[in-house]
Structure 1
Amino acid sequence: MTTPRCPQPPESQPGPYARAGRIALALFLFHSGGIMSTAPTEEVATETVVAIDPRQVQIGANVRLDANVDKEFVANVREEGVIVPVVGYFDGDAHYVVVDGQRRTLAAIEAKQATIPAFATRRREDADRIVAQMSANHHRVAITAAERAKGFEQLAGFGMSAAQIAKKTGYKRPEVDAGLKVAGSDLASKATERWGFLTLEQAAALAEFDQDADALQALTVAAERGSGFDHELQRQRDKRDDREAIKAFAEQLTADGVTVIERPPHDHKTILRLNQLDDAEGNRITPETHADCPGHAAYVTREWRWIETDAKDDEDAADEQEQVTVATYVCTDAKAHGHVDRWAGGYGGSTKKKAADMSEAEREAARAERRDVIESNKAWKSAETVRAAFVVKFLTRKSAPKGSAAFVVATIAEEGHWLSDHRTPTKADELLNGGKARMRADRAKAAENVTEGRALMLAVGQCCAAYEAQMGTHTWRNVTPGPARYLAFLAANGYELADVEKRAAGLDKPAPKPRAKKARKATTPPPETKAPEGNTAASSDEHPAA
């Protein structure tokens, strides 16, 4: 029987774009699973390469349970064709039987490829084929993040854009962008080489904090732990923004002749805020009247404040919060400078014990509680950013996940009044319409001419908006049914709750008390994670070929 030959590529291709093509090909093969990790036998290497119709082949005995022919792989086969030949043989009826390459064959069929390259080799018994498949896949080593970044950098050096690299290699655009960012950062590049657990996206995030050792440590710990990285990243970004805003404001105050100090403890004995001080004659002290006092100073903080809107002019208008940088003016030694603390006698009828009347243990407990409130409020604000990004993407689904109907019914039954709250429509526009304001009638029309699954998803979006409109920094302090239900629903659908959100959902469990252990004479530090040594073999089909 005469079989058509598959044209062979030239051994060398001059010019930088040819080299770029070879690099793109290597990355694609690593990404899609297209290179054998073990060297082919001499017999296979010298056998015939033929062009076969993928629709006419048969699939031999195989260990693969799922070929996992994803859309990205099919798109690449449609663009580039099957690059690495499948391996098989012709049976007694002249039918080609695939031994290695089920995934490529099925992708070629879906991509409507007329022919694919194939090695025609000798027939093996089924048991031998299974042994060969398992042996080949057992010794495969995936390409590392550091190697992907290097490959993207080389392709960019040949003039390929990020979009072209993504199209040619089969990697998604965000990963290509992250890889190029990593390649441009010495710190991020070394991090991917040293720590194999880092993804390109995580390494690119590290590059943002190359001068912040504390942030780098926190992010690396989160990445190695395998949870909480997105929340930690947003928290570190918020901290950085706060520091920069505070620094700029403090520099302006200093230029104006005001001494800037660190924020003192709330129960400081001598540094008191001006809004609680009177002069010797009983007059209220203001920053203007206090400017000439030797103790005149200020500390700078970032705070969230409400922006009031006039709901009368807009039926869907809602109050909003914004973060502002503020200066709190103080006197560094109020008593020595003749000022009177009008709050010294307590806060009216308050029964709260004053700091002066507390024991040292009580004062430390009070300080710890205040620190917890401050840090938890900041953590909640950071989590809001991460959660909103997840919900916006989640609500683009064409059909609702399991449990959505029950979630909507429970929301209507117990928090129905939140759905009609004047803040909910604005929040719904943020989550479902990219922040573009809609009239209520237009929101209703959005459910017309859509599938039942998408309509339910829109209902889920309205419920999400109702919860988001009601939740705030107060939510984490107590577990209430509505927010707990909402956060649990998000968690069940892939959202990773921040620790402060777990408190709001009632899902935070106190860590078990460590048992006492006998002291050891010497301890051996854990071995340092070694940098990946590079890829030594590549796969032909990611998992055992079918």
Structure 2
Amino acid sequence: MTTTASAPSSAYTLVEADPNELDIAENVRDGVAITDDPDFIASIAALGVRQAVSAVRRADGTLAVRDGQRRTLAAREAGLSSIPVMVREQSADEKAEGIDRITEQVNCNDQREPLTRGQRAAAVADLLDMELSVQKVATALHVPKAYVEKAGRAGRSERARSQLDDRQLTLEAAALLADLEDAAEAEPWITDTIDSIFERGFGVEYHLNNLQRRVAERAATSAAAADYTARGFALLHDEPSTGTGDWFSVADLRTADGEPIAADAPEQAPHLWHVYVYEAGSTWVDKKTREEVDEDDIDFDTVDEDDDVEPFDGQLHANTVEKIPAWRYEFFLHHDNRAAAGLELAPERIATANGASDAGDPQDGLTPAQRQAARAEAERVEKERAERRKVKALNRAGATATESRRTFLTGLLSGNTAPKNATKWIVTALATHGDVFTESKTHQRYADIMGSPLSDAPQKADNGTVARAEVLLLARVLTAFEARLTGPQDSKDYWRFSSKHYRGMVGIDSYLTFLADSGHTLTPVEQAAIGNITIDAAHAAVADEEA
């Protein structure tokens, strides 16, 4: 049934029509499978047809759709009884009508430019800014909540939106970029680092993730140092070198009388001193009291057990404790503040200063043997500091590389066909390293990367194609090697294990090489792990990336 609503022009009339009574007729867009687009159908069901369909009225009174084929089909699937239709009378000239139909349909489709990825993200961000919840936005736009959460973050950033439109970044990376730009408002150095990442133009997503890890580490150390900074100490995020004459440790300094300074000297003048905070392992604490707990006092057999399970012999239930970073604090004085602090250099520090004479210096009062010992000690301390800086940078890069590698694995193993030569590699790998399945956490790594437990694999293989079964086999092998690479503690320091037999790292070179052949770009820490480059070369590359 058709009812006239209004006539906006002499050529067209707006009517409400039953979509089931409309004739789709001929259309340049042929073979539409509307059921393949459930989101579009859901949108039509929820909102109706917002843009009127265009149609012509034939001599027999039927309406033939000219523009709006998909809207009409979706309305039928959604069970709508009426949709808006702009109607004009069909021309009596059959040839002219045919020409008009084709040109109208082509032009309408050509001029209908879809929203870009960046524009969609901006729209989501605007809706969230209007205080709609993530769930309400997801419902209104018929998209997953996870998309709304990421798009809402990415939509805040002009650069992220541009990168989305150019398909240079995934939605996840664009969201991360926007978060980093927000963090840069408080820490301007982040902006310079972002700029350098895009100037390099390769491995952008990896470098953004590594930057995010650096920002998170700085936030953690800032929180750990909060009591000190509140008292006036300036915070150092990177351990300074004491070999250049710019920074001095407590041991490098003496009072005006030549005596060693007290351990609490920095507390007496916090405005002159810097505090360096670093993570030195971890410790267990009681969740309620926050008091430190001896690891031997914890019954780890109660892990994942109900709270009412009685721990062994007076030990603590594992659910009542948690592992937290163990923070250490060192104090440094910048040379600009030494005079204000009224402190002198220790003789050993004078002896190791740049330009100090090997033959002796009356200023330090040391014998040649004492001077030699002082220099050896200074070199040892500086070497240790440099090593800690290197380990910190490489561990951070190792953690980021693991995250990137596992994301690649998830994508690689989500398809229905395995990479070329996968079966040949599996046969060779298992013939040589068949014990890889005995690695700790192999089941967990499989579940993390595949998104389902290993126990589901047989059914998935039965229900899938032979090619998909090959992918599942490949997943089992690759995730076992991933478990071997990072170990039971999900270590991030695998860069130091270039000796393949160290910690049972046999076969890791084959594993990472296969990933590289399958499209994964090996990072410097991964290159070091298999001996392609030295650890020092890996550190130089990481330091250059973070500069």
- Normalised to the residue count of structure 2, the TM-score between the two structures is 0.55
Q: Which residue of 1 aligns with 2:419?
A: 403
Distance 2:530 2:39 in 1: 37
How far the C-alpha of 1:71 sits from its partner, in A, is: 3.4
Distance 1:415 1:304 in 2: 35
TM-aligned CA distance change 1:384 to 1:346, over 3 Å: same
Residue in structure 1 matching 2:175, options 201, 204, 208: 201
How far the C-alpha of 1:118 sits from its partner, in A, is: 3.9
How far the C-alpha of 1:239 sits from its partner, in A, is: 1.5
* Conservation of the 8 A alpha-carbon contact between 2:16 and 2:83: no
Distance 1:56 1:506 in 2: 69
TM-aligned CA distance change 1:393 to 1:56, over 3 Å: same
Q: Which residue of 2 aligns with 1:99?
A: 66
Distance 1:127 1:392 in 2: 50
Q: Which residue of 2 aligns with 1:30?
A: none
How far the C-alpha of 1:448 sits from its partner, in A, is: 4.8
TM-aligned CA distance change 1:156 to 1:190, over 3 Å: closer
Partner secondary structure for residue 58 of structure 1: coil
The answer to whether 1:72 aligns with 2:39 is yes
The answer to whether 1:243 aligns with 2:218 is yes
Partner secondary structure for residue 300 of structure 1: strand
* Conservation of the 8 A alpha-carbon contact between 1:49 and 1:118: yes
TM-aligned CA distance change 1:45 to 1:89, over 3 Å: closer
Q: Which residue of 2 aligns with 1:60?
A: 27
TM-aligned CA distance change 1:172 to 1:369, over 3 Å: same
The answer to whether 1:482 aligns with 2:457 is no
Q: What pairs with 1:410-449 in structure 2 (closer than 5 Å)?
A: 411-431=429-449, 445-449=455-459
Partner secondary structure for residue 163 of structure 1: helix
How far the C-alpha of 1:228 sits from its partner, in A, is: 4.6
Partner secondary structure for residue 87 of structure 1: strand
Distance 2:473 2:20 in 1: 47
Q: Which residue of 1 aligns with 2:54?
A: 87
Q: Deviations over 1:13-39 (max 9, x none)?
A: xxxxxxxxxxxxxxxxxxxxxxxxxxx
* Conservation of the 8 A alpha-carbon contact between 2:52 and 2:83: yes
* Conservation of the 8 A alpha-carbon contact between 2:16 and 2:82: no
Partner secondary structure for residue 53 of structure 1: helix
* Conservation of the 8 A alpha-carbon contact between 2:418 and 2:470: no
Distance 2:434 2:182 in 1: 45
TM-aligned CA distance change 1:89 to 1:450, over 3 Å: same
TM-aligned CA distance change 1:109 to 1:203, over 3 Å: farther
How far the C-alpha of 1:154 sits from its partner, in A, is: 5.5
Q: Deviations over 1:210-230 (max 9, x none)?
A: 323332354467679987554
Distance 1:505 1:54 in 2: 68
Distance 2:263 2:145 in 1: 58
Q: Which residue of 2 aligns with 1:165?
A: 137
Q: What pairs with 1:353-372 in structure 2 (closer than 5 Å)?
A: none
How far the C-alpha of 1:244 sits from its partner, in A, is: 2.6
* Conservation of the 8 A alpha-carbon contact between 1:267 and 1:355: no
TM-aligned CA distance change 1:380 to 1:44, over 3 Å: farther
Residue in structure 1 matching 2:239, options 249, 252, 263: 263
Q: Deviations over 1:35-58 (max 9, x none)?
A: xxxxxx956643655323189633
Q: Which residue of 1 aligns with 2:209?
A: 234
Distance 2:241 2:197 in 1: 30
Long gaps (5+) in structure 2: 253-259, 285-294, 304-322, 335-344, 351-365, 487-491, 499-507, 534-547
TM-aligned CA distance change 1:475 to 1:68, over 3 Å: farther
Partner secondary structure for residue 83 of structure 1: coil
* Conservation of the 8 A alpha-carbon contact between 1:483 and 1:504: no
How far the C-alpha of 1:100 sits from its partner, in A, is: 2.3
* Conservation of the 8 A alpha-carbon contact between 1:304 and 1:323: yes
The answer to whether 1:135 aligns with 2:149 is no
Q: What pairs with 1:463-542 in structure 2 (closer than 5 Å)?
A: 463-469=477-483, 470-471=485-486, 472-475=492-495, 480-486=509-515, 488-489=517-518, 491=519
Distance 1:64 1:507 in 2: 53
Q: Partner letter of residue 103 of structure 2?
A: V
TM-aligned CA distance change 1:179 to 1:343, over 3 Å: same
How far the C-alpha of 1:109 sits from its partner, in A, is: 5.3
Higher relative contact order (CA 8 A, sep 6+): 1
* Conservation of the 8 A alpha-carbon contact between 1:50 and 1:118: yes
* Conservation of the 8 A alpha-carbon contact between 2:436 and 2:481: yes
Distance 1:109 1:161 in 2: 31
Partner secondary structure for residue 18 of structure 2: strand
How far the C-alpha of 1:207 sits from its partner, in A, is: 2.8
TM-aligned CA distance change 1:394 to 1:119, over 3 Å: farther
Aligned residues: percent identity?
A: 20
Residue in structure 2 matching 1:211, options 176, 181, 186: 186
TM-aligned CA distance change 1:117 to 1:46, over 3 Å: closer
* Number of residue pairs matched by the alignment: 428
* Conservation of the 8 A alpha-carbon contact between 1:88 and 1:118: yes
Distance 1:389 1:162 in 2: 25
- Normalised to the residue count of structure 1, the TM-score between the two structures is 0.55
* Conservation of the 8 A alpha-carbon contact between 2:23 and 2:64: no
How far the C-alpha of 1:103 sits from its partner, in A, is: 3.2
How far the C-alpha of 1:240 sits from its partner, in A, is: 1.8
How far the C-alpha of 1:127 sits from its partner, in A, is: 4.8
TM-aligned CA distance change 1:125 to 1:64, over 3 Å: farther
How far the C-alpha of 1:428 sits from its partner, in A, is: 3.6
Distance 1:456 1:413 in 2: 17
Q: Partner letter of residue 50 of structure 1?
A: A
Q: Partner letter of residue 79 of structure 1?
A: A
Partner secondary structure for residue 2 of structure 2: coil
**Over aligned residue pairs, what C-alpha RMSD do you find?**
6.0
Q: Deviations over 1:469-517 (max 9, x none)?
A: 214444499792212213554x47xxx8767668879999xxxxxxxxx
Distance 2:215 2:477 in 1: 33
How far the C-alpha of 1:238 sits from its partner, in A, is: 1.6
Q: Which has the higher helix share?
A: 2
TM-aligned CA distance change 1:72 to 1:456, over 3 Å: farther
Bigger CA drift: 217-226 or 468-477? 217-226
Q: Which residue of 1 aligns with 2:2?
A: 5
How far the C-alpha of 1:420 sits from its partner, in A, is: 1.5
How far the C-alpha of 1:432 sits from its partner, in A, is: 5.3
TM-aligned CA distance change 1:428 to 1:76, over 3 Å: same
Q: Partner letter of residue 103 of structure 1?
A: R
